[in-house]
Amino acid sequence: VERLKVIFHVSDRSRWNYALTSVTNFLLDAGAENVEAEVLANGPAVTAYTGEKTELVARMEDLNRSGVKFLACRNALRAHGIAEEAVPHFVTVVPAGITVLATRQRDGYAYIKP
């Protein structure tokens, strides 16, 4: 059986808590081994990707250990003055977040905006 593929799109910083709860509940319900889950942040949401281990970053890291990929839009990092070296080690920087959201959907991922 093919894994259930989902890309979550987070653009507002205030939505991170709700977004991470959504991802967590999804893994608990469907089983981490049965899903491919990615979280793409662009817009002001990228400001949560700080080097400091905030509670949000700790929750992301836990989810990453369960296989969830975290992505940051380079355009958004630049717009918010965040150096790429400042984002947590488990975050992958992509050239443009929208292109990733488009290609993932073309490749069969569901899109969810928490």
> Which residues of this protein are in contact with a copy of itself, per CB under 8 A?
4-6, 9, 11, 18, 22-23, 25-26, 28-30, 35, 42-43, 73, 75, 95-99, 101-106, 108, 110-114
Q: What's the start-to-end Cα distance of the chain, in Å?
A: 26
Residue whose CB is less far from a copy of itself, 3 or 65: 3
The contacts of residue 18 (CB under 8 Å, 6+ apart) are 114
Residue whose CB is less far from a copy of itself, 7 or 57: 7
**77 SS3 class:** helix
Nearest approach in angstroms of CB 76 to a copy of itself is 9
Decide: 73 and 92 in contact? Cβ < 8 Å. no
